[in-house]
Amino acid sequence: MTALRRGRWLRHDRRMPDLVAQSIERLRSGGVRLDRGLSDAEVSRAQDRLDFVFGPEHREFIQSAVPVGKSWPDWRHDSDEELRGRLDWPVEGVLFDVHNNDFWPASWGDRPDGEASRAREARAQLARVPRLVPVFSHRYLSSGPQFNPSPVFAVHQTDVIFYGDNLLDYVAREFRVPPLHPSDRTHVPFWSDLADGAENCDL
């Protein structure tokens, strides 16, 4: 690590929220290997190439330290195809249940009769919901600044659960480095509703 990068990492470490700083310390104590954080340019390249935006605490997290190893998204080295697949996973899983398991939440209105019409309407509905961004395996944080701090969701098709009320609570649970840090959860449209069971009642 160059002196410049070392200094930049330390500056991030001083100003980042406790939520992020403590998450990194918990990961370190849990034996997770940490690489240097992403630069502003690296974050911008990833967002521009893949057409998404990190949430504020997610960005602060990966600019302070990058966890490496199995199941962690490698924003520095993974191929665009692999990263795009992980970004698309939540929406594609919902579409799978639309096509194969008759999923159609009441909030979407009347279910179209034809399969092609259902697919078009489902994609249109899902284009309006907040994007989810992978943090580890099939655990996701919401994108954008308005859902901060974001809960962490475990996502498998329309089986969505809260895996942490925030990033620190998630790290404590996933990597068994207590104490837990429950808090009032930020509501993320559609995804929080799925986790609460409010979007699971078909018409």
Task: Assess if residue 203 is contained within a domain.
Answer: no
Task: Assess if residue 188 is contained within a domain.
Answer: yes
Phi, psi of 33, deg, nearest 5:
-75, 135
Task: Assess if residue 201 is contained within a domain.
Answer: no
Alpha carbons 11 and 158: distance in angstroms, whole number: 40
Task: Assess if residue 82 is contained within a domain.
Answer: yes
Would you give per-residue pLDDT tens digits along the chain (203 residues)? 333 232 333 333 333 358 999 999 999 999 999 999 999 999 999 999 999 999 999 999 999 999 999 999 999 999 999 999 999 999 999 999 999 999 999 999 999 999 999 999 999 999 999 999 999 999 999 998 999 999 999 999 999 999 999 999 999 999 999 999 999 999 999 999 999 998 764 43
Alpha carbons 11 and 40: distance in angstroms, whole number: 13
Residues near 132 by Cβ (< 8 Å), separated by ≥ 6? Answer: 87, 90, 140, 141, 142, 143, 153, 155, 191
pLDDT of 3 reads 30
Task: Assess if residue 81 is contained within a domain.
Answer: yes
In the chain, what percentage of residues exceed pLDDT 70?
90
| Per-residue tokens: 69 | 């190893």
Task: Assess if residue 202 is contained within a domain.
Answer: no
Neighbours of 25 (CB within 10 A): 14
Alpha carbons 115 and 75: distance in angstroms, whole number: 36
22's enclosing H/E stretch is helix 18-29
Cis peptide before 179 (omega within 30 of 0): yes
Q: How many residues does the chain have?
A: 203
Which residue range is the domain that position 72 belongs to?
3-196
Strand partners, 68: 33
Structurally, the chain folds into a number of domains equal to 1
Task: Assess if residue 138 is contained within a domain.
Answer: yes
Residues near 93 by Cβ (< 8 Å), separated by ≥ 6? Answer: 155, 156, 157, 158
The model's pLDDT over 7-54, given as tens digits with 9 standing for 90+, comes to 333 333 333 358 999 999 999 999 999 999 999 999 999 999 999 999
